[in-house]
Structure 1
Amino acid sequence: MIKSVILFFRFILSGLNYLFNLLMFKVNGVEVNSFLINGRILVRNKGSIKLGAGFTANSGKMINPIGGDTCLRLICSIDGMLHIHENVGISNSTIVCWDKIIIHKNVLIGGGCKIWDTNFHSINSIDRLNGDMSIKTSPIEIMESVFIGANCTILKGVSIGENSVIAAGSVVTKDIPSNQIWGGNPAVFIKKI
């Protein structure tokens, strides 16, 4: 009996979460096909966000405790273009797009990852004090079938080649070729796949 009641409430909660996420996408002008999100996503879109068919995500402390973050966040500024292709799975991560981020199909992004195509602030202290007018941005491209382990940080201007694997906790600061495993802070070559 108790198991049936729990299953019933999970079903109701799942439906409410679906409606919440659908509304979040509509209000923020996100182009989306089919999606499956466990939990509730946070979206702030002033630019262009497109999600391909089969987008899946875990979003929330109770949904996937591995990520540590509270939810999955997709944030796109006025000039930003965030395009996530088909069959991409993301868990409790934050993607901030001020320029352009393209994530190709069949990519998996582990819990607690950060993907930022901006420095957020100028490296010049005078500029920071006067309104941060010279903030650097540079596009990010993650090719097909890449696996990014939990708690990785992917910084601006990086391209990750297809089928490559980024070890958990890595900080990616430069391009990674296809079919390789990289890890560390900063990430370095480990071996070919």
Structure 2
Amino acid sequence: MNKLLKLFRILRFIFHDIYFNFRYLPCKQAIHLPILLYSPHFESCRGKIIIKSKSVHFGMIQLGFPNNHSNLDGIIIYNSGGILEFVGDGTFFIGSSSVLSVGKKGYLSFEKNISASQSHFLCDYRMIFHENCTIGSRCTFMDCDFHAIKNIVTGEKKLPYKLVEIGSNNWFGFECMIMKGTSTSDNIIVGSRSLLNKNYQNSTYSILAGSPAKIIKKGYYRDFDDQIFNINKYE
């Protein structure tokens, strides 16, 4: 039944897939339909999509598909002229109720084995995700304030954008907010509803939490190859 449901979801938007792949990719890549879409909403289809991988195969990039904890709202894709890039021989899953927004001069890059659901990626400048990142529901990543503000005394305008760079093997909990200027180490865990807005490069094997976030525990990481644990029976 699950296989039939998955097949139905793929076939339902197959013409969108064909259009999108051949619109953005070279024919030698597009012919494999590496990008699969579920209920896509195209707000703007400018700019570029680049796949840097030695092996391009069917469905390696899945955008908008529901998982066990999300609904069927699909995905909003807005590219007003920037670059959306997928790097590496792995899988890329951006689930339903998500937004991929790339500004006119934006550069949004995902390395292999990214998994996210119901999250917003708002890139007007430069945003980079390194490999093996897991992003919980309703997280927001933004590299720009989208509005300029000035100092009332000097008239100086505050820079409204900065690089966002996420390290490898990062795990973000529910409803995290990642602001411009955030840079994280490899192998970190970010607690639910945390706000990150600075350089956290000295936080490898740590748990960050809070608003703004700080290190609350050291010496921890999430082992995705060892996720089984026993729950004692409630007495």
Q: Do the structures match in fold with TM over 0.5?
A: yes
TM-score (norm 2): 0.65
Match of 2:208, SS? strand
1:110 and 2:124 matched: no
Aligned residues with identical type, % of pairs: 24
Match of 2:199, SS? coil
1:82 and 2:119 matched: no
Partner residue, 1:153: 177
Distance between the aligned counterparts of 1:161 and 1:146, measured in 2?
8
Distance between the aligned counterparts of 1:107 and 1:114, measured in 2?
14
Partner residue, 1:65: none
Amino acid at match of 2:167: M
Q: Deviations over 1:113-152 (max 9, x none)?
A: 01000011112399xxxxxx86510001001000011100
Higher helix share: 1
1:41 pairs with one of 60, 75, 90: 75
Could you tell me how far 1:174 is from its partner in structure 2? 1.7
Gapped regions of structure 2 (runs ≥ 5): 25-44, 67-73, 221-235
Distance between the aligned counterparts of 2:12 and 2:112, measured in 1?
24
Gapped regions of structure 1 (runs ≥ 5): 60-70, 127-132
| Aligned positions of 1:98-177 closer than 5 A | 98-124=124-150, 136-176=160-200, 177=203
Alignment coverage as a number of residue pairs: 172
TM-score (norm 1): 0.78
Distance between the aligned counterparts of 1:24 and 1:184, measured in 2?
39
1:57 and 2:94 matched: yes
Amino acid at match of 1:164: I
RMSD (CA atoms)? 2.5
1:31 and 2:39 matched: no
Distance between the aligned counterparts of 1:150 and 1:21, measured in 2?
30
Using CA pairs below 8 Å that are at least 6 residues apart, which structure has the higher relative contact order?
1
Match of 2:12, SS? helix
Q: Which structure has the bigger radius of gyration?
A: 2
Distance between the aligned counterparts of 2:3 and 2:168, measured in 1?
36
Once structures 1 and 2 are overlaid, which stretch shifts more, 74-83 or 133-142?
A: 133-142
Q: Is the contact made by 1:121 and 1:135 (CA closer than 8 Å) also made in structure 2? A: no
1:11 and 2:41 matched: no
Amino acid at match of 1:13: R
